[in-house]
Every structure is written in structure tokens, then in C-alpha cells.
Structure 1
Amino acid sequence: PVLDDPRTAVKDAAFTQVRRGQSHGYSIRTPRWRYMLWADGDDGEQLFDMQADPSEAKNLVDDARYASTVAELKQRVLAYAKAGK
């Protein structure tokens, strides 16, 4: 299907493991959001709206309007990390 129509979506998100110095974490990137969960370090959690803020300047994780988005993406990141992928 993808070869027939390059616009066909294969996955709805990309997962990455991230290292920053001694800190490490996991990230999920959807067409709209980037959510990062740090296992240690001061950053904890981060949520960015990649459509409105592609430079990732404003962390929305503590904004109550996005609580359900944070919960959903966090669950997906934890499942990814648990699977050891």
C-alpha cells in the first residue's frame, strides 16, 4: 500500500530513546505532539505541540487543557519502554 500511495500512513507515532548527559528518557512523536518522559534529571515530563511550536519552546505538560493528551502519550511511552523496544 505505501509503495502504491506514499501518502499512506504506516504508523501513527515514532518512539525514541533519548540520552542527555547522565539522564535518559523516552519520547513519542505523533503528527501533532512530542511527549518526553525522563527517567531522571530535572525535566521530568515535557509536552510540545509540534504544529504550534515546532521549536519546542513552550512545555505544555502542566497545562490542565492537555491533561488527557499527557495521560495517553505517557501510557504509550511506558508500554514502549516496558516492551524493551
Structure 2
Amino acid sequence: MSETNEDLSELNFEDALKRLEDIVRKLESGDVPLDQSIALYSEGEKLRGLCQKRLEAAQAKIEKITLDRDGKPKATVPFDAD
């Protein structure tokens, strides 16, 4: 059930998010014993951190193209630089 840190780090964003959603559903159902709930919560927190890091890395790669007066591309700037 619970994956190791190495296994989690090998997940792509979509698989990590799907696993996190599965964990949330199980925890919200209330049908999971306390010890298992604690383990699931811990795994979910690791997955949340992994997804957050992947999103931040993707956002850092996004660039906005700036145009000169003639409408031609002149440079790129970070997406959120405005």
C-alpha cells in the first residue's frame, strides 16, 4: 500500500496527483483504521510536496515572449514578471 520515498519520487506529476486523490478519498470515507489513516496521511503529505515541487519547476520554465514595437519577438521574460 504505502510506497517508499524512492518509489514516490519516480512518479510523474499525474500519477502522483492520482495517488494523492485516492488517499484523500480513503481518508474522507472514514472507513480506514487509525494506524492506516496515519500512514496514508504521511504518504499524502509526501505526495503533496512532490506535486508542489513539480508545479513550481514547471512554472519556472514557462516564459512569456515580449514583442518589439513592430510586433516581432525580441526576448523572453519569466511568466509572472509583470
Settle same-fold status: TM greater than 0.5.
no
Larger RCO of the pair (alpha carbons < 8 Å, separation 6+)? 2
Higher share of residues assigned strand: 1
TM range (shorter): 0.3 to 0.5
TM-score, with structure 2 as normaliser: 0.38
